[in-house]
Amino acid sequence: EPEVTQTPSHQVTQMGQEVILRCVPISNHLYFYWYRQILGQKVEFLVSFYNNEISEKSEIFDDQFSVERPDGSNFTLKIRSTKLEDSAMYFCASSDRQMVDQPQHFGDGTRLSIL
């Protein structure tokens, strides 16, 4: 069964450094998402992406964050100058269409630890 893949599974970075999280969505999907889950908290929406542009972003997704689809298969989340509070599990998701009857399929996540 097709799946969303994320790399790396775990990333340790010094505060202030840039980090890029990578995702390969399901191949025929058109809508892409990033969510994050801080330890012990709910999964939170960060951003949605369609047709090479951001569809919607949350208040969390400030200027230090950016997303890109550099080629036909990858979808990346960049955090420019990491802070301690960016430590979280980051999930990529994709869906076929942006309709209520189309579930989002999630990857296994990247655990980001900021030191």
Partner 1 sequence: SQELEQSPQSLIVQEGKNLTINCTSSKTLYGLYWYKQKYGEGLIFLMMLQKGGEEKSHEKITAKLDEKKQQSSLHITASQPSHAGIYLCGADNDYKLSFGAGTTVTVRA
Nearer to partner 1 (CB atom), residue 5 or residue 76: 5
Nearer to partner 1 (CB atom), residue 17 or residue 54: 54
Pairing of strands 10-13, 75-79: unpaired
* Binding positions for partner 1, rule: CB under 8 A: 4, 6, 31, 33, 35, 41-45, 48, 55-56, 58, 89, 91, 93, 98-101, 103-109, 111
CB of 81 to partner 1, least distance (A): 25
CB of 105 to partner 1, least distance (A): 6
Nearer to partner 1 (CB atom), residue 17 or residue 67: 67
Nearer to partner 1 (CB atom), residue 19 or residue 33: 33
CB of 70 to partner 1, least distance (A): 22
d(Cα 114, Cα 54) in Å, to the nearest integer? 26
